[in-house]
Each structure stands twice: as C-alpha cells, then as structure tokens.
Chain A
Amino acid sequence: MEILTFNNIFLFTSANAKKQVTTDAGDYMAEIMDNLLGFLPPGGVFIGGAGVAILILAFQFLNKWLHHILKLPWMQEENQRKRKQLEQNANNQQKSN
C-alpha cells in the first residue's frame, strides 16, 4: 500500500515558492514588505481568481439578458398588471349587474 506522508506532499509550492528574503541592508523596506505580504500567493493566482470572478459575472449578465429578451408577453410585468386590471374591471361589472 502506498503511504502518503506529510513530507512528500507539497502542492502549489511552485506557485507559492517564497521569494528570497533580501538581506541587503539598503533594501530594508523591501524586507519589511516581504515580511508583511510574503504569505500572499503570486500575481498569477490573483489573475486566475479575477478571471474566474469575471467569468461568473459575464455568465450572470448573459443569463439575465437572455431571460429578459426571451420573456413571453404574458410574463412581462406591465402585461400582468394590465391583465389584473382587466380582471378587476370584469369582476366589478359582474357585481354591478
């Protein structure tokens, strides 16, 4: 049986390989930034995430648009309101008769 231990599983490591900490005394600011934001994944992940989010938004808008243009006349709010009005008028007329 293949045994998978903690030591032989490192995923995302290529993407997340930590940047070398700058030891140059002159680059003090870069070191601070690295310590503060060093845990964040590289830019590629950000772009990937943004791509997924944009894809979702695009499909949602497409779905909404298709719903809008494929609505049958009776589904439209305005027509439903008119229908209700007509029904009410007919009921009132029946009552008065």
Chain B
Amino acid sequence: MNQPPYRISPLEMSITLISMMLAIGILTLPRSLAEAMDSGDGWIAILVSSAIVMGFVFMIVRLQKNFPGQSLLEYVGEKGMGKWIAKLIAVLFVIYFIPFLAYEARVLTIIVRMYLLDRTPPEITLAIIVLTTTYAVSKGVQGIVHLNLMFIPFIMFVYLILIVFNIQDMNITELRPVLPMGMTSLLPSLQPTIFSFLGIELLFFWLAFMKSDHLRALPLNLGVLFVTMLYLLIVVISYTVMSVNGVKTIVFPTVGLAKEVEIVEGLIERFEPLMIVIWIMQIFNTMAIIHYLAVQTIKKDLLKTEKGMWIPAVVTFFTYYIAAIPNSIQEVFTLGDLIGYAGASLILLSLIIGYLTVWIKMRKKRNQTNTKEIAK
C-alpha cells in the first residue's frame, strides 16, 4: 500500500535538534569552561556561542529553501562535477559520524561504569547500547523522531528538578567579578562551548523531510535557545554551588551537581542514578540520530541503493571498534575534541559548497534565459 512520505513538522524538527545537541556537553561543559576561562564567566561564552550557532542555523535553513525536499548532498550531486563533490562530502560525513557515535558510546560506558554498574564490563555496556541504537535505526526517521518526542519531557523534568533543588545552595559571589581579564578572555572558551552545540549538521540531512512552507529558522532557533538556557542554568548553578575551582576537579560536574540535590528534607537523597538513567535516554536519542545519519549517508549518497541491509551492522562494528581505541578518559576527551573540530569544519565546508552550488546553478539558469531572449 502506498503511504504518503513522512514529513517532519517544525516542532518535531525543533525537538529533534534539541535531542541531537544535548549529549555529552551537558555533563562536561561547566568543567571545560572553568578550565578555559579560569573564572565564572562561562555563561557569557555560552550566550556568545549560542548566537553564533543560531546564525549558522539561519544560514542552513536559508540554503535549504533553494532545494526543498532534497538533502544538501542530493542537491549538490545532481549532475556534473557535483556528483564527485557530493560523494567526497558524504565520505567525510561518514568518517565524522562513525567516530562521533563511538565517542558518545564510549563516554556512556564510562558514565555507566562510574555511577551505575561498576562491575559490568564496559564492552557489554557498549554492545548493548549499539544494539539498541541499531534497532532504533531500523525504524527510520519517523521512529527516531517519535522517540525524541517521547523522551524529551522526562529529560526536561529531571533537569528542572536538578536546577530547582540546587537554587537554595547558590552562592552568587562565585560569578564575580565579571570578565576581570577583558573581553578577549572569552575567546579560548568559545571552542568548548561551540562544540557542545554541535549537532546542527543534522539539518543538512533532515530538513529534506520538511514541507517547503515549514522551512523557517525561528522554530529551530527556539530549540537552540532552549539548549542555551539549559546550558546557562547548569553552568551558573555548578559554579555557584560547587565553586569554579571545585568544578575544575570533577570530570562530570553536572553529575556532581545531582549529588548535591536533596529533595524534601532528604526524602530523595541519591538523585544522581535517576539523572544518569534519564541522561542515558537522552544520549540514546543522540546516538540513534547519528547512527541513522551514518547509515543514511552510506546508503543514499555513497552507494545509492535501497537495499544495504548489512550497512547498520557494519557501522555498528566500526563504532564498537573505534570506541575501544582510547586508553584513558583523557584520550576519550581528546577524541571528542578532534570530533568537535571535524564537525565544525564539515558544517562550514558544507555551507560553502551549498551556497556555491546554488550560485552556480542560478547563474547557469540566468545565462540560459538570456540566450533564449537573445535568440527570440
């Protein structure tokens, strides 16, 4: 039976973007900002980075308006040299997505071992999570988007509890003085902050599932704003509750913050396992999206086939293997930094190539119209 193709609504897209961006960054951002700035000014860096990311989202949506219903790689690879360029970008994206997935999976195993299942071998945790994301991938875009919609209220509720029940312990003096070293001290902090917002590359692929009249940057930027507010509150509360120097020494400060929570006179004292469980749901969403993007890019843009039943399994194998490469947590975070640089470069490259293709195609069209008019 023929069913109409699935279309993502603006709200669904916005929530999917939130799910994609909220991953490991939320646990590590307070520490990486404290290390980069050595002061409590991380919240300013978050606002600046958020504005930059919103600008990029606006540019991606504006680019997408030139080819509604098609992904960037489909548009670039329509004919001529573009085919090869699209293939090259597709290869780069696959090389980016698989280690990205591996990185997320590895951090998940570290967190699970540290806070939940300390005697379970990380290999088992790793295998289970990649098997689960493979199942999500088999359900397609619609399945993954609906999973995001289903999980996000729980995730938000837990973060809300985390924030609200820490307010009483806040000590605002930790945030002062504001920018004692001047505006230039913000520059080194932009790198970790922008990396925490990575995930907008999803738009290059999934905006194709939106109707042309739904292609607007505002709902997506509201999603970015939502993530910004969450990051901002978590960073401010981490600094004011645990102090900037204290945050520097904790690997995952947000989990540390969860340990400080005491609900209704100690009724619930151990909040962090609950938070970790909910965070796993969140990272599962992110991983499912990345896994699907990797599979989709290989299937549609590289091999151009509808079959390819083996692709999710191969992606899983490489994910599993790459996830085990780092020897220590430092190496895991180095891998994370490399992935961050790769992601930012790919977004820039894709935008440049996208706009160049639009410009070339428009110029060709104009030339053809001019020639026709002259011939008349």
Instruction: Identify the A interface with B (CB < 8 A).
Output: 1-6, 9-13, 15-16, 18, 39-41, 45-46, 48-57, 60-61, 64
Which of A13, A41, A51, A61 has most B Cβ within 10 Å? A41
Which range holds the interface residue count of chain B?
35 or more
Cβ of B187 under 8 Å from chain A? no
Q: Are B327 and A16 in contact (CB under 8 A)?
A: yes
- Does A3 lie within 8 Å of B249, measured CB to CB? yes
Q: Hey, which chain B residues are within 8 Å of A18, CB to CB?
A: 327
Task: Note all chain B residues with C-beta closer than 8 A to A53.
Answer: 313-314, 316-317, 320
How far apart are the CA atoms of A36 and B201 in the complex, in Å?
32
Q: What is the distance, in angstroms, from A33's C-beta to the closest C-beta of chain B?
A: 17
Which B284-336 residues sit within 8 Å CB-CB of chain A? Answer: 309-310, 312-314, 316-318, 320-321, 324-330
The CB with the most chain A CB atoms within 10 A, among B252, B324, B330, is that of B324
A4 to chain B, nearest CB (A): 5
Q: Are B127 and A60 in contact (CB under 8 A)?
A: no
Chain A residues positioned under 8 Å from B114 (CB to CB): 4, 9
Q: Which residues of B contact A55 (CB under 8 A)?
A: 131
Contact of B123 with A45 in the complex, beta carbons under 8 Å: yes
State A52–B328 Cα separation when bound (angstroms): 23
Residues B110-164 near A (CB distance < 8 A): 110, 113-114, 122-123, 127, 130-131, 134, 138
Asked if B251 lies at the interface with its beta carbon under 8 angstroms from chain A, I say yes
**Other-chain contact of A52, B310, B316, B327 (Cβ < 8 Å):** B316
Closest chain-A Cβ to B61's Cβ sits at a distance in Å of 35
Return chain B residues, CB-CB under 8 Å to A48.
Answer: 123, 127, 320
B313 to chain A, nearest CB (A): 4
A6-B327 Cα distance, complex, nearest whole Å: 12
**B134 CB contacts on chain A under 8 angstroms:** 56
Residue numbers in B under 8 Å from A52 (CB-CB):
127, 130-131, 316-317, 320
Give A15 to B259 CA distance when docked, in angstroms: 31
Identity of the chain A residue whose Cβ is nearest the Cβ of B312 in the assembled complex: A56
B219 at the binding interface (Cβ < 8 Å):
no
Q: Choose among A9, A39, A50 the residue with the greatest number of B CB atoms under 10 Å from its CB.
A: A9
Q: Which of B40-83 contact A (CB under 8 A)?
A: none
> Would you call B260 an interface residue if the criterion is a C-beta within 8 Å of the partner chain's C-beta atoms?
yes
Q: Which residues of B contact A5 (CB under 8 A)?
A: 249-251
Closest A residue to B329 by beta carbon equals: A9
A40 to chain B, nearest CB (A): 7
| List of B residues within 8 angstroms of A6 by Cβ | 251, 328-330
Give min CB distance, A37 to chain B, whole Å. 11
Give Cα A56 to B134, complex, Å. Answer: 8
- In the complex, given contacts A52-B127, A53-B313, what are 7 additional A-B residue pairs having Cβ atoms less than 8 angstroms apart? A2-B259, A10-B329, A48-B127, A53-B317, A55-B131, A56-B313, A57-B310
